[in-house]
Structure 1
Amino acid sequence: MRAAPLSLLFPALVGVALLLAACGGTSPPPPDPSTPPTVATGAPPGGTSTPPVPPDPLTADPPDGTTALDPSRVEARGLPPGFPTLVWTRGPRTLGVYGRAGGCTEASAQVVEQTAQEVTVHVLQTTTSTGPCTRELRYPPLEVTLAQDLGTRRVVLTGEVR
């Protein structure tokens, strides 16, 4: 007895596979047009609460053990958009700010001027590599030391992205 050529068997096998697939399952019923669609909200089933919102780093609290400086004493002169403007103190001669860093960038801060009326702190975001880089964004706390107590002086924040 002679075997059937493969070109004759292939269409028959495909037909059997399709027939088996069609008989093996059922399709879900069509949606009822009178029922409004459901939208995932993140709330527990039957509940009305919303999921917690993570804190916004641009309006974050100062780190533990520090005190936020009154925002009326802070001027963000020349600080790039998206940089936090929160300033805190840790004792009379330590100022803190949040930098902006991530993937292939680092953050740093330095005191660039101190007068009897104000202290100017420069916040810098520096690119450390051309990539490939991850896309996370972090706001690391940065602290600088003053030559004299801050007292009632204002704090001027400047910054740049390099």
Structure 2
Amino acid sequence: MRAVGMIVLLATVVLFAAGCGSPGGGGGGDTPPGTPPTVPTGAPPGGTSTPPVPVDPLVADPPPGGTALDPARVTTTGLPAGFPTLVWSRGPRTLGVYGRSGGCTEAAATVVDQTPEAVTVRVTQTTTSTGPCTRELRYPAFELPLTADLGQRRVVLTGEQN
């Protein structure tokens, strides 16, 4: 008797699921059975649209109050791939850069050399644990004091991952 009740319940569920949504039983309104479902794209009906472009964290703006340096004044050849390259100033003696850190990494930045021609900044990403680690990336801002006005000196970014 219990088996018969289960069969009736199962048959009711199957019939209900098959009949939901459309007379054809496909659950897709006017779509014929066997037609694959469509995925909404954000485009208006009958038209096209360009999907929104996500903000690239490697092409950022300086923090409020900072002024971005002309990229032609910044040398990044010594920076590991994927590190942010934006440099900004806040007044004549403060230089700013972004680091890169994450679940098991920390970032740091230091001024390693100042000459009349250039200021060299080292950005590091140091592993702090072998895991398990989350996979997010953060781009902390660092503002570094200079011993003399930046003026028209160029900025050389170097970096390393430990």
Tell me whether the two structures share a fold, i.e. TM-score over 0.5. yes
Aligned residues: 153
TM-score normalised by L of structure 2 = 0.80
Per the alignment, residue 71 of structure 1 pairs with 71
For residues 23 and 89 of structure 1, the distance between their equivalents in structure 2, rounded to whole angstroms, comes to 69
* 5+ long unaligned stretches in structure 2: none
Correspondence 1:32-43 to 2 at 5 A: 32=32, 38-43=38-43
Q: Is the contact between residue 73 and residue 154 of structure 1 (CA under 8 Å) also seen in structure 2?
A: yes
Q: Deviations over 1:123-154 (max 9, x none)?
A: 00111122222111111111111111111111
Q: Is the contact between residue 111 and residue 121 of structure 1 (CA under 8 Å) also seen in structure 2?
A: yes
Per the alignment, residue 80 of structure 1 pairs with 80
For residues 55 and 142 of structure 1, the distance between their equivalents in structure 2, rounded to whole angstroms, comes to 20
Per the alignment, residue 21 of structure 1 pairs with 13
TM-score normalised by L of structure 1 = 0.80
Per the alignment, residue 136 of structure 1 pairs with 136
Amino acid at match of 1:66: G
Percent identity, aligned pairs only, is 67
* 5+ long unaligned stretches in structure 1: 1-8
For residues 37 and 24 of structure 1, the distance between their equivalents in structure 2, rounded to whole angstroms, comes to 20
Per the alignment, residue 110 of structure 2 pairs with 110
**Larger Rg computed on CA atoms:** 1
Amino acid at match of 2:93: R
CA RMSD, Structure 1 to Structure 2 (Å): 2.6
Q: Is the contact between residue 41 and residue 50 of structure 1 (CA under 8 Å) also seen in structure 2?
A: no
For residues 10 and 142 of structure 1, the distance between their equivalents in structure 2, rounded to whole angstroms, comes to 71
